[in-house]
Amino acid sequence: MIAIIDYGAGNLNSIQKALEFVGEETVILEEGEQEDIDKYSGLVLPGVGAFPGAMKRLQEDNFIEFIEKFVAAGKPFLGVCLGMQLLFEWGFEDQKTAGLGLLKGNITKMETEYKIPHMGWNQLQIIKNDPLFKGLPENPHFYFVHSYQLTEVTDQVLATVGYGSTVPAVVRQDNVIGFQFHPEKSGDNGIKLLENFRELL
């Protein structure tokens, strides 16, 4: 069973329906303190909203320690859009805010001559092979909606997109995974990606 964290800003219904479509049982968690990580095979942090408010809610709802224990146990943890950004050390949306610190890097405003937010379909450039990409086309399209990004292409970046600059789009370090785009809004490619994530459970 995959647990989906509700921190008051996530796009819960879409990601829940997509995971159930690929055959996975799901549950939405509103509070982390009393939760037993052994009940869940995977954890998803969805994303709509702003970095400071999201971190504040995760703290208030006692999810920080729960997430840390889940990751330390080696179980797959997926962050989507803002959820991916929260995986990193610092966010600079409105103010400097500490993230979960599970991955190294900072989240800053996109620097591009193109319109912000980056909204719509864009094509992945896969730079590192990974089981997550099994069965996908060579340069698959996914749906993006964001104004902030991981600043640098580090060793943990598996795929990027071009949007006036290079934008990290898929990250992974062991069992911690992030998608800057919305797989639940990305048609067949998104479903295949979630199927591949499910196979990691």
Positions annotated as catalytic residues are 81, 182, 184
What are the angstrom distances between the C-alpha of 109 and each of 38, 96, 123, 186? 37, 12, 20, 24
SS3 156: coil
Report H helices in the chain: 12-21, 51-60, 64-72, 82-85, 187-198
Per the listing, tokens 């803002």 go with 82
CB atoms within 10 A of CB 181: 28
Q: Which of 181, 8, 188, 4 is nearest to 82 (CA)?
A: 181
Tokens of 6: 């509700």
Strand partners, 42: 2
How far, in Å, CA of 65 to CA of 62, rounded? 7
- What are the φ and ψ backbone dihedral angles of 36, each rounded to 5 degrees? -100, 120
State the maximum Cα–Cα separation within the chain, in Å, rounded to a whole number: 47
